[in-house]
Amino acid sequence: MIFIFILIFTLIFTLILILILILIDMSMKPATVHEIKKALATTPPDRMLELLMRLAKYKKDNKELLTYMLFEADDEEAYIAAIKSEIDELFPTINRYSIFYIKKTLRKILRFIDKFIRYSGKKETEADIRIYFCEKIMEDKIPITRSRVLTNMYNGQLKKINAALSKLHEDIQYDYQSRLEEIK
């Protein structure tokens, strides 16, 4: 019993020391990932849960990332379907009377897409969602040739799709190539 008490006290004391050294050394600079990993390795599970809950409450992006990791990472197909349905809901909001508003709304949709692609981190998911975005642009007949910015935005998506596809297995690449050819 005394041994456990000494061990817990030592861990807490070490964590406090590390945090103090980090605060003094960094002077308001965030700790490196390695330093955070070291500190978390010595953090007890109760404290870890408290830290995660505080992260989830602090910022919406943290909450969304935790939601993905806990509930959606196991079923990537359902995650992709949910993102596609959200894209389907965002496209009708495009104001087509002005190129300015088209650009603005497409950028908003791309920020949404980029955020959820970043959560997944899988190149297959990235390729699928970006191809779907380009297909929606073609399907809705958005005039991308009327604006250099829109053309560059669209070509940027094609480059990102090609970059994601280049990192996938050849069989999977072949599956996406036919969809990619339709949107070029």
Q: How many CA atoms lie within 13 A of 170 on its CB side?
A: 0
Supply 54's token pair: 């505080």
Question: Is 154 in the same domain as 82?
Answer: yes
- What pTM did the predictor assign? 0.76
Position 52 in a domain? no
Q: Indicate if 92 and 147 belong to the same structural domain.
A: yes
Of all residues in the chain, the percent with pLDDT exceeding 70 is: 85
Handedness of CA 8, 9, 12, 18 (dihedral sign): negative
Both 80 and 152 in one domain: the answer is yes
Predicted confidence band of residue 22 (pLDDT cuts 50, 70, 90): low
Nearest to 156 by CA among 137, 174, 141: 137
Task: Tell me the per-residue pLDDT of 128-181, one tens digit each, with 9 for 90 and over.
Answer: 999 999 999 999 999 999 999 999 999 999 999 999 999 988 888 888 888 888
How many distinct structural domains can be found in the chain? 2
Question: 26 with 102, same domain?
Answer: no
The answer to the question of residue 70 being in a domain is: no
Decide if 123 is inside a domain.
yes
Instruction: Determine, yes or no, domain membership for 100.
Output: yes
Q: What is the pLDDT of residues 25-61, one digit of tens each?
A: 555 577 888 988 888 888 888 888 888 888 888 888 8
Which contiguous run of DSSP H or E holds residue 93? none
Q: What is the pLDDT of residue 70?
A: 86
Give me the pLDDT at residue 30, please: 78
Amino acid at residue number 180: L
Range of the domain at 159: 75-183
- Is 164 a member of any domain? yes
Domain identity same for 95 and 171: yes
Torsion, Cα 74 78 83 85, to 10 degrees, reads -170
96 vs 117: CA distance, rounded Å? 27
Q: Using one digit for the tens of pLDDT, what is the confidence trace for 78-111?
A: 999 999 999 999 999 999 889 999 999 999 999 9
Same domain, 27 and 97: no
